[in-house]
Amino acid sequence: MTDLVAGAHGTADPRGQRVVRELVREIARQRPGLRTSLGFVDVDLPALPELAARVVADSNEAVVVPLLLSSGYHVNVDIRRACADTGATAAAALGPDPLLADVLADRLGLLDGVDRVVLAAAGSSDRRALHDCDLMAGRLSDRTGRPVQVGYVSGRGRRLADAVAGPGRVAVAMYLLAPGYFADVIARGAAAAGAVRCGAPLGADPRVARLALRRYDEAVLAAHRSTVRRGPDRRSVGALAGQSR
């Protein structure tokens, strides 16, 4: 069976470390028998490139699933480079996806009396990540029945305070995987800007784990199809794809 390597950003905050590791444990619980490991693109250890190399050397097949919400620099550069260097397969980022909208809506709770929602994200200089956040705002709007716009606390794009400012009562949905520095910045910024509510990060929710496994399955299937088009090689991706279901 093709190994799953979860690729997280990394944080020095113990709260965030606990949540990310619990999410990976939840992924393993949902797919017994699937060898699952966790590496990081920044801050924490083990470093993703070294971990992916070890896993591929051991099992010959691995899919790196980004525990990242948008397809920004870490997905398109760091993770893809690690996969290219080691022979692992890169899966897509978790977001945007309706499952994440469901979790975000649950974190917000009842929206009686709330006129609109701001999707608060850490931010990025990568336009692909900003585009993904815009798509996620649309999915959250569909889910909540409220207008949703994005506000950032770093990088490009409209700032959180500006997104919250304006008419009506505003709830802020925290588009982060785990608590930590950016979660604290968003919580303080939302309160200072006058938001009536601020949801918690997505956390180690079983639905997030289910989405990560879906990204894994999609990547295994894509690798299988690519191998079929190229013809057989030294790796039995087709057989491994069948075992991953």
Do residues 111 and 147 make contact, with C-beta atoms less than 8 angstroms apart?
no
Which residue ranges form the domains of the chain, and what is each CATH number? 3-94+205-243 (3.40.50.1400), 98-198 (3.40.50.1400)
Say what the pTM is: 0.91
Per-residue pLDDT tens digits for 166-184: 899 999 999 999 999 999 9
For 98-136, b where at least 16 C-beta lie within 10 A, e where not — what string?
A: ebbbebbbebbeebeebebbbbbbbbbebeebbebbeeb
Report pLDDT for 124.
92
pLDDT tens column, 75-117: 999 999 999 999 999 999 999 999 999 999 999 999 999 999 9
